[in-house]
Structure 1
Amino acid sequence: MSPRRSDSRERMLRGASELLREYGAGATSIDRVLARTGAPRGSVYHHFPGGRAQLIEEAVTRSGDLMARRIDAAMEAEDPLEAVDSFFALWRQRLAESDYRVGCPVVAVAAETNDEAPQLARSAAAVFARWQKTLAAHFCRHGVPQARSARLAAFVIAALEGAVILCRAEQTTAPLDAAATELRELLSHAFHGR
């Protein structure tokens, strides 16, 4: 059964996110998105009149929204350490299932210079800022002072995303495991003073 024509916009966004995770922003072309999703060529400029840049920008925002919802859901746990651990577990699973092929689509956009579409870097920065703000608010709720919560949130995201990049390069979860262990110790001290 072929996909409904009306869902082509969502399929293209999902396909663009997948390609960003696997190949990076430079290799995520309209043709590749269409090949991945089976969306009709005519729907590209109907749904994304700004072309490739708009498609990638919206895919980054969509990916950021999905992760922000995961952060919110995870941080509802009684123990914020378990919540942070869950993100490392998610990435262990994603890396293993993809044979170390996937990374974060937001990082893919942030890591590449794009002089023709500088709004892509701004979109990635906005996603990272949103994640940091969300994590920091949860850390504050667990008794960490606001300024330290902001620093810890930035550090958690930098450590996690950096570890994923190292895992992909080294084809092992060892960097992720090391980052998780050190972060757990740091956060335990911040939350519990030990």
Structure 2
Amino acid sequence: MQADDPVEAIDAFFALWRDRLVESGFRSGCPIVAVAVETNDEAPQLARSAATVFARWQEALAALFVRHGLPEERGKRLSAFIIAAVEGAVIMCRAEQSTAPLEATATEIHDLLAYTLRDRPGTGHPPQL
């Protein structure tokens, strides 16, 4: 993640996915998810590779949350939740041919982060309630 503000970073990530989905006519998806769901017993290294990528994303996101004052364990849980929510929303968008699931997920996660990180260093985002 390039942005140092966690809320801005996640908002930018959702915007990137929204654009990618719309520009591809809802054909684009996450290649890591594709590898993870298509992996079989004949290629266990692919599943391990997908798991490694997801773990790195979680570590990077958790580190950003910790830099902004969250306890390490909370940062890890929150990063796993966000990645799972984004990936699920992308899959739903493709199925529905709509950005509505991604928009709903983005709004809820924005508000959750703004609330969770309020009064933390470097985040001046009041909750959108």
Q: Same fold judged by TM-score > 0.5? A: yes
Q: How does 1:1-194 map to 2 (within 5 A)?
A: 71=1, 73-74=2-3, 76=4, 79-192=5-118
3-state DSSP class of the match of 2:21? helix
Percent of pairs with identical residues:
67
2:19 partner amino acid: Q
The count of aligned residue pairs is: 120
For 1:145 and 1:133, how far apart are their aligned partners in 2? 13
1:148 partner amino acid: R
1:190 CA drift (Å): 1.3
Relative to its length, the structure with more helix (as a share) is 1
The residue that corresponds to 1:66 in the other structure is none
Superposed CA deviations along residues 70-105 of structure 1, whole A, max 9, x for unmatched, are: x2x13x3xx320110000000000000000001000
For 1:129 and 1:189, how far apart are their aligned partners in 2? 25
TM-score (ref. length: structure 1)? 0.60
1:139 CA drift (Å): 0.3
Q: Look at both structures and tell me which one has the larger radius of gyration over its CA atoms.
A: 1
For 2:79 and 2:10, how far apart are their aligned partners in 1? 10
Structure possessing the higher relative contact order (Cα contacts under 8 Å, 6 or more residues apart)? 2
3-state DSSP class of the match of 1:143? coil
1:185 partner amino acid: D
For 2:24 and 2:56, how far apart are their aligned partners in 1? 27
TM-score (ref. length: structure 2)? 0.89
Extract unaligned runs of 5+ from structure 1. 1-70
1:160 partner amino acid: V
Superposed CA deviations along residues 112-167 of structure 1, whole A, max 9, x for unmatched, are: 23111111000000000000001000000011111110000001100111100000
3-state DSSP class of the match of 1:111? helix
